[in-house]
Homo-oligomer: A and B are copies of this chain.
């Protein structure tokens, strides 16, 4: 259904749809080729999109998908009728942190550093999107972008505080006490 929404704003190939989705809704709705191509095929089978094949040399023929009037109708019907299911959130990183007292403190600091990098990178990409499209977005697209911006900013604030607490915990335990069990096991 998401694909229909994007196609309602202009005809695209599967490849273009993936790139477009990655930048716009990627942070809350991932989609791989393995899900996009089969979905487009089934939409075409239902007559919700039309396919126009453009012959190319040196690469597979381009397939430009265009939404049909039935597709538009179906899309709007799905917006009206579908109850969005609850957000899904899952974090293995937090599970590691949860069991932090069984962890090597240095490893923990390393893990959170990686976590921070990933958040920073994602925030950066959202800022790029803001600069590039900020003026042409609908107010609704703007709201979802703001969601992402505040999401990652909040996350980074929390990370900074956790790093401080982790460092003071490490200092309190003293440098000589670091990963005693790991040393003993060898």
Query: B165 to A139, Cβ gap below 8 A?
Result: yes
CB pair A97–B143 under 8 Å, yes or no, is: yes
Q: Chain A 93-119, CB within 8 Å of chain B: the 1/0 string?
A: 111111111111001000100000010
Dominant SS among interface residues on chain A? helix
Chain A residues bordering chain B, tally (CB within 8 A): 60
Copies assembled: 2
A118 neighbours in B (Cβ, 8 Å): 86
Q: Is the CB of B86 within 8 A of A88?
A: no
CB-based contact B86/A87 at 8 Å: no
Which residues of A are at the interface with B, using a C-beta cutoff of 8 A? 2, 5, 8, 24-25, 27-30, 73, 75-76, 79-80, 82, 84-104, 107, 111, 118, 138-141, 143-144, 146-147, 150-151, 154-155, 157-158, 161-162, 165, 169, 181-182, 185
